[in-house]
Structures are given as C-alpha cells and as structure tokens.
Amino acid sequence: MATVTIVVGVDGSESGLAAVRLAAREARWRDRPLKLVHAFVWPTLRVPPGQAGGGLREQAEALLKQAAAVALEAEPAVQIWTELITGAPAPVILGQAHEAELVVLGDRGLGGFSGLLVGSVAVQVSAHSSTPVLVAKGRMDFEGPIVVGVDGSSTSERAVGLAFEEASVRGAELLAVHCWTRPVSTGPGDMLPLVYDTDEVAAEEERLLAEALSGHSDRFPDVTVRRESVRDRPGRTLVGFSEQAQLVVVGSRGRGGFTGLLLGSVSQQVLHHAHCPVLMVPGK
C-alpha cells in the first residue's frame, strides 16, 4: 500500500462525516489511499480497567466503521483503511500528518464549545501541521472557482501551487486574488508620501500578481485563471469571494504579520468565516 495518504479525522459528528466525504473525493482526485483515524482518548484518562473501557472501545470502532461506510459510498473505488490511536485528537492527527499528502478535518467536532466558529482541533492542527490541512465547512457542492490568496510571500507561492493542483484535478476555474492597501505606514517614524499615483500603484500590484502565477500557468495549461487585484483588506475580500467558491486556498502565514503567531490574521479570518472549505497551506 502506498505510504503517502489522505488522512481524515473521525469523531462521529456531522462535521466529521462531511470531512470524510470530502477526503474521499480528494483521495480519488489525487489517486491516493484514504486513512481514517480516530483518537481514542479514554486510556489517557487513567480510568481503572473494567470500568467502561471495553464499551468505549467498541463505540470508537463503530465510529470508524460508520465513517468507512460513508467514504465507500462517496467514492467506491478509493482504497480505505482505518486506525484507532490512543491519544488526544490534535496530537494524534499531527502525528499522522508527517506521512500524509493532505489532512482533512471537520470544522466542528463533538464536545466543543458551541460559541466557537471553528473547533479547537481544526485550529490547532492548522496552526502546527507541516502538511496542508483541508477544513470541511460551509457549502460543499464542488461548484464555483478555486479561490487563492496571493501576497507574494513564500507561503503564498506554495498556496498558489496547491491551488493550481486543486483546480486541475477538479476541472475548476482558478480565481487568484491579490489585495493591497498601500501606501500605508510600515512602522514608527515612517513617512507616507503626500502625493502618489493610485494608478501606478495598482499597476505595480497587478504585476506582482501576474508574476506569482506565471510559472504555475505553464505547469497547468488546462487551468483557466482569472485574476483579481483588489484595494481592500485581504481577509474580508477572500471571505466575500468564498460565497461563490468551492474552495479557498490560503497560506497559514503571509506578509506583514507578527512572526510569533502560528496563524496569520488573514488565515484565521478566512478559516473562521469562509462559506466553503478552506485549504490551509503551511510554510516550508
């Protein structure tokens, strides 16, 4: 069996089953086997043997069996296997991510706080994974373009590459979105120009966007690309475009953020507010 897999977290929730369906389709599109993983947390609670342990394990195995049936129904040709792993969900999934091509999670699992927009496991894994993380949320009808945020950073470059791959395997249009707000202050004492040519700034931003896409377009000649250079905040703009998209691809960290943060402000805004699945791409 191939060692490179699509890994999906299973917890029995509706969000988790939506992630299983999405992961099954990704496995078919990418010609990869699908690995369904459930984090079995009971042994870490140190409950004495014989006190509900067997029953909980049976329930966990039943969740995996149900998820496998859902995946098989969605994509009968995909090779599927399951694994029950002792541990808390986020560390378990992160451990599996090292040998995976893609990790897929639901945006809300069981037992979370109802006021959260995205569950803690999805946020933790997205922040710490070295493998791209696809969070299933919102509409999942596989219609509309693939939207990717472009800002010229190294992480954005990787996000653009994966967005082209997704557009190619899905037969979808790629909408590349670049946002700019300059000229703005970059720090204390930074003097802004009293007069500047907005058209000249806009043309420069258009060139940045075109350059970010050029090499990838050569690799994926089958992908139709549409470019949008927008003078607005990137998080708000990408969330707006997500209303008509089937997927938003964004780097976990872009330009201009605080280096100590694991997720940039734009990626957090998109992860929490997008109306469709979000593919979070880590930096190398």
pLDDT digits (tens, 9 = 90+) for 18-59: 999 999 999 999 999 999 999 987 654 455 555 555 578 888
The predicted pLDDT at position 206 comes to 87
Instruction: Catalogue the E-assigned strands of the chain.
Output: 5-9, 34-40, 80-86, 100-106, 133-136, 146-149, 174-179, 225-230, 247-251, 278-281
Edge-to-edge strand ranges of the sheet holding 146-149: 80-86, 34-40, 5-9, 100-106, 133-136, 278-281, 247-251, 146-149, 174-179, 225-230
**pLDDT tens digits, 53-99:** 557 888 889 999 999 999 999 999 999 999 999 999 999 999 999 88
Q: How confident is the model at residue 215 (pLDDT cuts 50, 70, 90)?
A: confident
pLDDT at 109 over 80: no
Mean pLDDT for the chain overall: 84
Q: What is the pLDDT of residue 181?
A: 78
How many C-beta neighbours within 10 Å does residue 220 have? 16
Nearest to 101 by CA among 168, 29, 164, 17: 29
Position 182 pLDDT exceeds 90: no
Give dist(CA 69, CA 60) in Å, integer: 14
| Right CATH for 146-281 from 3.20.20.70, 3.40.50.12370, 3.10.129.10, 3.30.450.20 | 3.40.50.12370
Structure tokens at 99: 């040998």
Contacts of 132 (CB under 8 A, 6+ apart): 101, 102, 103, 162, 279, 280, 281, 282
- Cis peptide bond prior to 277, omega within 30° of 0: no
Distance from C-alpha of 98 to C-alpha of 87, rounded to nearest angstrom:
16
147: β partners: 175, 248
For the chain, where do the domains classified as CATH 3.40.50.620 start and end?
5-136
Contact 130, 158 (CB under 8 A): no
Segments of the chain assigned to CATH 3.40.50.12370: 146-281
74-83, 132-141, 245-254 — which is least confidently predicted?
Answer: 245-254
CATH of domain 5-136: 3.40.50.620
